[in-house]
Structure 1
Amino acid sequence: MRVLLQRVSRASVTVSEEIVGAIDAGLLLFVGFTDGDSQKEIQYFAEKVVNLRIFEDHDGKMNRSLLDVKGSILSVSQFTLYGDCRKGRRPNFMAAARPDEASALYDQWNKALTMKGIRVKTGVFGAMMDVELINDGPVTLFLDSLSNPVL
């Protein structure tokens, strides 16, 4: 599982010229799944994302979590996070989970975030989407289950 996390002032996702998800202050999450991902990764990263202290406190230090600031999440499925560009000029996406498996994991992911008390908006799985955001900071982090010794 991979999550590209961006702290945003606002973000939205549009499909066929219609806004399908939008948030104000919070996190834009691009999420991708690979074979073998399960509830273990989903639960670990859901807990990690909502509790990361990446929002500023009164002293300007990143010391507050999404829960602390009562922020929202815009969650966008992104199989291209598993693009392998090491050979040739065209990315290889063989490491990305099959669409049926990824769709089920994406639904479980969004439910896990919602169960943490977060307002979650989403894109449309498998659709061509336009994503707009105002990156706050900028703060961008990359979470990867393969590089995490806890999982």
Structure 2
Amino acid sequence: MDFAQKLDTYGRPAWIALTVLGFMAWWPLGLAVLAFSIGSGRMGCRSRRDFSDWQERGRDAFRSAFGGNFRRGFRPSGNAAFDDYREETLRRLEDEEREFATFLDRLRQAKDKAEFDQFMTERRNRPAQERPEPVNGTDN
């Protein structure tokens, strides 16, 4: 029976203990044990697909609890007029949320451009003695 199989009989706590001991002894050893235990699935981490499924489940739970994607979180009330009103209002709010996110992106880009333009202006207007010497000896 090899060492990994023996640790597998003790389960995840044994792998955690080995990882901690590896870090205490020499950090590259601990890092190697950690990478092996995660990569081989011994720590319960299976694959990226499983992680994305977990992420999606968490996102859905958050949305239903706090209202991100409202349509999936509500059951029909039995009143068709109210359900239509609610759907229309929630659709409008989701559209406004998307528009606001787009606005924030444009605002960030404008701020970045303004800062860059200010930097370039200051760089051009520096006195000649503060400018660095060209590497090849010619002036650009």
Q: TM-score, normalised by structure 1?
A: 0.20
Which one has the bigger strand percentage? 1
Which one has the bigger helix percentage? 2
Q: TM-score, normalised by structure 2?
A: 0.22
